[in-house]
A and B are shown apart, each in its own frame.
Chain A
Amino acid sequence: MKQAKISTGQFFILIMLSRIMHVMLYKANTFTSGTPLMLGLLISTAIEALLAVPVFIFLLKREEILQTVLKNERLKTVLKALLALYFIFVSGITLYLFAEFMHSEFALIALPWLIIVALAAAGAYCAHLGIEGIARAGTAVFWVFIALMVLMAVVNQGRYDPLNLIPVRKSDLKMMWDYVVWDISSCRWLPLTLGLVSYLKQGAQKAAIGYLVTKFVLIEGVLLLITMILWTFVDVPGYPILALGVYAKTDIIRQFNAINMFVWALNCVLVNGVYLNIASASFKKKNWLSVLVPAALAAAFAILCYKQIIHLTTDVQNLIMLVGIVLLGVLVPLAAIIYWRVKVKCEKLRQSFYRQ
């Protein structure tokens, strides 16, 4: 059976959905103004672009690098284990944050542990079906999200007030840098690229460039909308994108909270499916167990975090994410590139020696 492949467009959508999930679940501690966040996003995107250079080169020379690096079975095993650990952690955090969101906004729907288990099980099923199905479904969910954002912007009954765009003050700098750190720790697309590399077709580096540009434009646009319409009202619901839905009204739909939650839940299932699919690659045999074990671990971790048995502050979460991103998204691709270059040079030297 041929290895499943996903196109550049589908890869772009998967990494965008992962990013959007994190933005959806972002809860501002205090939202004094949006402009520091908008500036922070500009800075973090620039840093992210720099961090993405090794991955970009890796994608350019993907076939040659993989052929060289993957010959080493031990290296392959270690890499898969690290990716599995990282993505079980990411999946667990996503489930935990989603349960927090549901508890704070829709507490009567279901018990948090039930929400975590349901999402983990659904994600495991999607992971079992394979990355191709998730990638195709992701295209649909991505466009549903875009349509929802456009609709909320169009039917928003709040006034677009440019006066809300207050210049960045000295007191806002801490908030700005906090956001920069948070945004960089959300660069999961870097380790995600490594995890999905065997599924990618030629030209995947275009997805990386597209992601950086789109992410900046999309999130900056959302922040602009939120700031101009809502300003500090965001503090009330806590979730900025959710806050946007509060003022959106149509004849049929009076409030968009539940509609937002619907789209976020769709996204959460798919994104978790991607994470669990990558985590399951560390198992030698591909069967139900290879997805159920990571899903169970992620769910257990999420429940323990929710019940405060494992205390994970936002700073600790961001730190662990950042370590994973630097290790798996920057250092590993860099090391692979260096290893490949050394191997190529050694081979050239050997050939020129034999010719002589």
Chain B
Amino acid sequence: MPEANEKRIFQSLERNLAELKSIFGESQDLNIARVSVEGVKCAVVTIEGMVAPKDLANMLFDPITEYKKRNADAEDVFKFFSEEGIFSNDEKVVNLFSEANEYLCSGFALVFVHGISHGMAYGAQGFAIRSVSEPATESNLKGAKEAFIENIRTNMSLIRRRVKNPALRFEYLKAGKTSKTVLCLVYIDGKTPERLRSMIKERIHKIKLDMVLTSGNIEPFLAKNKGAFFSSTSTTERPDVVASKISEGRAAILIDGVPFALICPTLFIENFQTVDDYSEKPYYATYMRWIRFAAFFIATMLPGLYLAAATHHPEVLARALLLNLIANAENTPYSLFAEMLIVILMFEILKEAGLRLPKTIGGAVSIVGGLVIGDAAVTSGLISAPLLIVIGITATSSFVIPGLNAQTTILRILNVIVGGFFGFFGIAVLMAVLLVNTCVTDSFAVPYTAPAFPLTVRAMRDVITRRTFLKMQEFEADIDSLNGVGGSGE
């Protein structure tokens, strides 16, 4: 694909229009409306579907037709467009064809005047956008019910409405050689350290991908630690979460076309915090937080530990449970390891099918999976009932922490494999390696395992419990203070 044209706008209208047609390759969505303003030839260029025709007519064509000046020349007409008339609250002078391309593709209407080597761009965006709706992946009981949408400017306004402070800043960036996707760095001046902002901007400038269409395209470039199992950035579709995070000194990145914001840096412990924690009483929120810790442990470790104990370390289990397991194992044709892998595989297939199926028949998946396959498998003796119970509890627990879904799934499989072959020894070696891998992750000079390792006592209070708001107002949360003792930064 040819690089953006760095040529300056011509004086000749026809040459400008020919150049634009050449750049856009005679694309059928390039609309050119020729107008004559007091005898001076002009043209209004738009991309079909990107501008609102009614708004364009009201804001541009009506004033043009009402312009009256005797003996007006090209300069007069351009002065009317650039200075005298008020057509839009977003007006820009265009000097280069590269700028013209960018504005056209962003929903601006371009006006060229024959005899003037500049153009004018007016914001007239009218492309179809989804309305603000409830969050699909981060539901809550008492918090706000607004989520980001694909339009970056709407998302910016959702954040601005929650942080009515001029210190809230938005900085545009670009990524994607072909897509030229607009990104927006969001932060609060005075809270977000300059080094963090510089780090993020530097890493985004290094992206050489052709297309940037999802947050997943950008995440690997932001995280400095190659081979890290957990990501030191997270995504959210909630503007209230973004507002809360940037008030702690973090930065958020909005991506045009993506209804999620990237938060950097993120800590491991934040995956266990929800919006509802701060709407409920501290004692209840603390209890629920510990339920989530337990759910994560069950989702990742229970199948592997069960398999390891039943296969290699039966002396660990209570006698009654052991006898029950032996009785069930005698009736099944496969080894416990094989059964475990089969059931986990079945569960993953059902989960994936549930995600991809249309909502109208998605319910059938749960009936087929849960009732038919599960019940039939146990009744026929293919799978033992205790195993199905273990997987059932594991599956339910894995939905408690959606932010760590990928890691939980992989960890579960790995624990089953090493536990099945090497018992508790295998699980211990895997856990040790994973622990060091997690502890070494600090992409933005903030340790991912903070405030536990390295220990920051004050911040730990909001990990073990949900700190009361009375205490919170005494102490401002600050991401920089989590570097703790033992963190060296970059």
- Complexed CA–CA distance, A133 and B429 (Å): 15
Interface presence of A232 (CB below 8 A): no
- Contact between A259 and B485, CB atoms less than 8 A apart: no
From B319, B428, B454, B489, A136 is in contact (CB under 8 Å) with: B454
Interface presence of A1 (CB below 8 A): yes
Mask of A100-114 contacts with B, CB within 8 angstroms, 1/0: 001000101110000
Mask of A148-169 contacts with B, CB within 8 angstroms, 1/0: 0000000000000000000000
- Complexed CA–CA distance, A3 and B487 (Å): 11
Interface presence of B436 (CB below 8 A): yes
Segment touching B, from A35-43, A48-56, A248-256, A337-345: A248-256
A250 to chain B: closest residue by CB: B318
B486 to chain A: closest residue by CB: A7
- Give every chain B residue within 8 A of A134 (Cβ-Cβ): 436, 439
- Give every chain A residue within 8 A of B485 (Cβ-Cβ): 7-10, 201
- Contact between B433 and A5, CB atoms less than 8 A apart: no
- Complexed CA–CA distance, A338 and B347 (Å): 68
A130 to chain B: closest residue by CB: B440
Interface presence of A66 (CB below 8 A): no
Interface presence of B232 (CB below 8 A): no
- Give every chain B residue within 8 A of A119 (Cβ-Cβ): 429
Segment touching A, from B131-139, B351-359, B392-400, B419-427: B419-427
Main secondary structure of the interface of A (DSSP, over half): helix
B442 to chain A: closest residue by CB: A132
Mask of B438-460 contacts with A, CB within 8 angstroms, 1/0: 11100000010100111100000
- Complexed CA–CA distance, A253 and B436 (Å): 28
How many residues of chain A are within 8 Å of chain B by beta carbon? 49
- Give every chain A residue within 8 A of B488 (Cβ-Cβ): 2-5, 132
- Contact between A135 and B486, CB atoms less than 8 A apart: yes
Residues of chain A from 147 to 203 with CB closer than 8 A to chain B in the complex: 201
With contacts A253-B316, A266-B428 taken as known, whether A9 is within 8 angstroms of B437 at the C-beta atoms is no
Interface presence of A243 (CB below 8 A): no
Segment touching B, from A67-75, A121-129, A234-242, A306-314: A121-129
- Complexed CA–CA distance, A210 and B108 (Å): 69
- Give every chain A residue within 8 A of B447 (Cβ-Cβ): 136
B312 to chain A: closest residue by CB: A109
- Give every chain B residue within 8 A of A253 (Cβ-Cβ): 316, 318
B431 to chain A: closest residue by CB: A266
B309 to chain A: closest residue by CB: A258
- Contact between B490 and A1, CB atoms less than 8 A apart: yes
With contacts A7-B454, A132-B488 taken as known, whether A137 is within 8 angstroms of B439 at the C-beta atoms is yes
Most chain B beta carbons < 10 A, residue from A1, A135, A253, A265: A265
- Contact between A126 and B433, CB atoms less than 8 A apart: yes
- Contact between A102 and B425, CB atoms less than 8 A apart: yes
A91 CB, min distance to chain B CBs, angstroms: 15
- Contact between B429 and A269, CB atoms less than 8 A apart: yes
With contacts A2-B489, A4-B488, A265-B424 taken as known, whether A129 is within 8 angstroms of B432 at the C-beta atoms is no
Interface presence of A316 (CB below 8 A): no
- Complexed CA–CA distance, A130 and B427 (Å): 22
Interface presence of A317 (CB below 8 A): no
From B315, B429, B438, A257 is in contact (CB under 8 Å) with: B315
- Complexed CA–CA distance, A6 and B425 (Å): 28
Interface presence of A146 (CB below 8 A): no
- Contact between A254 and B312, CB atoms less than 8 A apart: no
- Give every chain A residue within 8 A of B432 (Cβ-Cβ): 122, 126, 137, 141, 265-266, 269-270
With contacts A141-B432, A266-B431 taken as known, whether A261 is within 8 angstroms of B316 at the C-beta atoms is no
From A1, A133, A139, A261, B425 is in contact (CB under 8 Å) with: A261
Interface presence of A118 (CB below 8 A): yes
- Contact between B315 and A133, CB atoms less than 8 A apart: no
- Give every chain B residue within 8 A of A92 (Cβ-Cβ): none
- Contact between A258 and B429, CB atoms less than 8 A apart: no
- Complexed CA–CA distance, A263 and B422 (Å): 15
Residues of chain A from 4 to 22 with CB closer than 8 A to chain B in the complex: 4-10
- Contact between A140 and B453, CB atoms less than 8 A apart: yes
- Give every chain A residue within 8 A of B211 (Cβ-Cβ): none
- Give every chain B residue within 8 A of A102 (Cβ-Cβ): 425
- Contact between A136 and B433, CB atoms less than 8 A apart: no
Interface presence of B162 (CB below 8 A): no
Interface presence of B376 (CB below 8 A): no
From B317, B425, B429, A254 is in contact (CB under 8 Å) with: B317
- Contact between B313 and A9, CB atoms less than 8 A apart: no
- Contact between A129 and B425, CB atoms less than 8 A apart: no
- Give every chain B residue within 8 A of A125 (Cβ-Cβ): 433, 436
- Complexed CA–CA distance, A248 and B437 (Å): 33
A193 CB, min distance to chain B CBs, angstroms: 17
- Complexed CA–CA distance, A6 and B485 (Å): 8
From A136, A255, A258, A273, B424 is in contact (CB under 8 Å) with: A258
Interface presence of B4 (CB below 8 A): no
A258 to chain B: closest residue by CB: B313
- Contact between B425 and A136, CB atoms less than 8 A apart: no
With contacts A258-B315, A265-B428 taken as known, whether A109 is within 8 angstroms of B422 at the C-beta atoms is yes
- Contact between A136 and B318, CB atoms less than 8 A apart: no
A286 CB, min distance to chain B CBs, angstroms: 14
- Complexed CA–CA distance, A201 and B487 (Å): 11
Interface presence of A90 (CB below 8 A): no
A262 CB, min distance to chain B CBs, angstroms: 4
From A1, A10, A108, A265, B454 is in contact (CB under 8 Å) with: A10
- Complexed CA–CA distance, A106 and B487 (Å): 38
A82 CB, min distance to chain B CBs, angstroms: 26
- Give every chain B residue within 8 A of A139 (Cβ-Cβ): 452-455
- Complexed CA–CA distance, A110 and B427 (Å): 13
With contacts A106-B425, A129-B440, A261-B424 taken as known, whether A252 is within 8 angstroms of B486 at the C-beta atoms is no
- Give every chain B residue within 8 A of A129 (Cβ-Cβ): 436-437, 440
- Give every chain A residue within 8 A of B452 (Cβ-Cβ): 139-140
- Complexed CA–CA distance, A8 and B487 (Å): 12
B300 CB, min distance to chain A CBs, angstroms: 15
Interface presence of B368 (CB below 8 A): no
Interface presence of A115 (CB below 8 A): yes
- Contact between A115 and B425, CB atoms less than 8 A apart: yes
Interface presence of B367 (CB below 8 A): no
- Complexed CA–CA distance, A270 and B439 (Å): 12
Residues of chain B from 316 to 333 with CB closer than 8 A to chain A in the complex: 316-319
Interface presence of B435 (CB below 8 A): yes
Identify 28 residue pairs between A and B in the complex whose beta-carbon atoms are under 8 Å apart, listed by A's number: A5-B486, A7-B454, A7-B486, A10-B454, A10-B485, A10-B486, A110-B422, A118-B422, A126-B432, A129-B436, A132-B439, A133-B439, A133-B440, A134-B439, A136-B439, A136-B447, A136-B486, A140-B439, A253-B316, A254-B315, A254-B317, A258-B309, A258-B423, A262-B425, A266-B432, A269-B428, A269-B429, A269-B432
Q: 10 closest pairs, A vs B, by CB?
A: A133-B440, A265-B428, A136-B439, A269-B432, A7-B485, A7-B486, A136-B453, A258-B313, A137-B435, A262-B424
Q: Which residues of B contact A (CB under 8 A)?
A: 309, 312-313, 315-319, 421-429, 431-433, 435-440, 447, 449, 452-455, 484-490
Q: Which residues of A contact B (CB under 8 A)?
A: 1-10, 102, 106, 108-110, 115, 118-119, 122, 125-126, 129-130, 132-137, 139-141, 201, 251-255, 257-259, 261-263, 265-266, 269-270, 273
User: Told that A110-B421, A140-B452 touch, could you supply 14 new A-B pairs with CB distance under 8 A?
Assistant: A2-B490, A8-B485, A118-B425, A118-B426, A119-B429, A136-B439, A136-B453, A136-B486, A257-B316, A258-B312, A261-B425, A265-B424, A269-B428, A269-B433
